[in-house]
């Protein structure tokens, strides 16, 4: 009888642990590349950090009377599915020269762009047209904004390159494919990690009105307001621990855990409370609908200054 009780207790304990919490973080699909080191800012647990002194001021300018909007998922035949696609290539992939609008703040190297490159919204899109390419041979990330292939070759608004094994930030003041000067890939929800119910990083999101300053590890800003009462690029927001997600599906609850543990990072100007995921045909409609019920009013800004090891590094304490 004692062994039966012991077995029941073990099963209860196992069921109490959220699925995926002991799992290894999922690499980029089609590669063995992890998205930055484990001590990187995007992976930092912020659940115990203090609320930022300007939290109420920032949120007052962020349309908190609405719910979050997952900017990815099925398009129901109206063009390509929503989300930012990720292209994975081998190290031997051809490299091309890219003409940049913001050349002074772009990494002017040859990029592994080609006929296989997937572009956000499709090649004829009038939107942001981000392209994210991972060289799986050396785990290097290439990101471009306003990407276009013309009869004169490849063009983009800006371009940035990162080693996925390093915490090195871009030069201070430089943009990237995002206004914050941060990489996009680490903030994307990816299908393979949600499927495993193990999201171990913060999530990228946008708002419409931001200030003309930025917080570490952001390197750049593109706001319209001088006042610090408006949110800056790099601001990090946490879903309050009191938010009850028990009515949501298991996959959505995994995202809620991530929002409580790792939060959201303000990375670009755009529609308020739109958060991003990769373009993938597997996103379930019910999961997307669950995410649309999360209220913006359930978030608070956190003070991440204690995490910083150095101004030019995304490593955290």
Q: What is the largest CA-CA distance in the chain?
A: 78
What's the pLDDT tens digit per position in 273-291?
999 999 999 999 999 999 9
Q: How many domains does the chain have?
A: 1
Assess if residue 6 is contained within a domain. no
Cα separation, 208 vs 61, whole angstroms: 9
Assess if residue 314 is contained within a domain. no
57-78 residues labelled b (16+ CB within 10 A) or e (exposed): bbbebbebeeebbbbbbbeeee
Assess if residue 294 is contained within a domain. yes
| Section 248-272 average pLDDT | 98
| Section 232-245 average pLDDT | 98
Assess if residue 12 is contained within a domain. no
Q: What is the pLDDT of residue 79?
A: 83
Assess if residue 284 is contained within a domain. yes
Band of pLDDT at residue 260, cut at 50, 70 and 90: very high
What's the pLDDT tens digit per position in 128-183?
999 999 999 999 999 999 999 999 999 999 999 999 999 999 999 999 999 999 99
| Section 254-263 average pLDDT | 98
Q: Which domain holds residue 232?
A: 23-307
Q: Taking 60 as the threshold, does the pLDDT of residue 19 lie above it?
A: no
Assess if residue 297 is contained within a domain. yes
Assess if residue 251 is contained within a domain. yes
Higher pLDDT, 8 or 191: 191
3-state secondary structure of 186: helix
| Section 192-221 average pLDDT | 98
pTM of the model: 0.92
Cα separation, 234 vs 240, whole angstroms: 19
Assess if residue 315 is contained within a domain. no
Q: Taking 80 as the threshold, does the pLDDT of residue 34 lie above it?
A: yes
Q: What is the pLDDT of residue 24?
A: 64
């Amino acid at each position: 009888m004692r062994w039966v009780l012991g077995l029941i207790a073990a099963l209860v304990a196992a069921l109490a642990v959220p699925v995926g919490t002991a799992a290894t973080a999922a690499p980029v699909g089609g590669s063995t590349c992890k998205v930055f080191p484990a001590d990187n800012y995007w992976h930092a647990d912020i659940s115990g950090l203090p609320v930022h002194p300007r939290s109420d001021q920032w949120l007052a300018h962020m349309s908190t009377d609405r719910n979050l909007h997952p900017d990815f998922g099925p398009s129901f035949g109206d063009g390509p599915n929503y989300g930012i696609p990720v292209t994975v290539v081998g190290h031997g992939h051809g490299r091309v020269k890219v003409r940049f609008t913001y050349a002074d703040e772009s990494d002017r190297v040859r990029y592994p762009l080609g006929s296989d490159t997937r572009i956000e919204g499709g090649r004829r899109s009038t939107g942001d047209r981000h392209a994210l390419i991972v060289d799986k041979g050396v785990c290097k990330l290439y990101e471009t904004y306003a990407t276009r292939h013309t009869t004169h070759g490849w063009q983009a608004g800006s371009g940035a390159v990162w080693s996925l094994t390093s915490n090195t930030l871009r030069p201070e003041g430089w943009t990237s494919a995002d206004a914050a000067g941060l990489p996009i890939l680490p903030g994307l929800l990816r299908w393979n990690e949600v499927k495993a119910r193990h999201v171990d990083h913060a999530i990228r999101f946008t708002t419409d009105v931001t200030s003309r300053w930025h917080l570490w590890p952001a390197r750049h800003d593109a706001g319209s307001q001088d006042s610090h009462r408006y949110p800056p690029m790099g601001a990090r927001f946490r879903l309050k621990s009191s938010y009850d997600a028990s009515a949501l599906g298991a996959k959505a609850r995994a995202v809620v855990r991530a929002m409580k543990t790792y939060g959201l990072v303000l990375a670009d100007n755009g529609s308020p409370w739109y958060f991003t995921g990769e373009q993938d045909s597997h996103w379930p409609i019910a999961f997307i609908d669950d995410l649309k019920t999360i209220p913006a009013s359930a978030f608070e800004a956190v003070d991440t200054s204690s995490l910083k090891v150095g101004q030019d590094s995304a490593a955290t304490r």
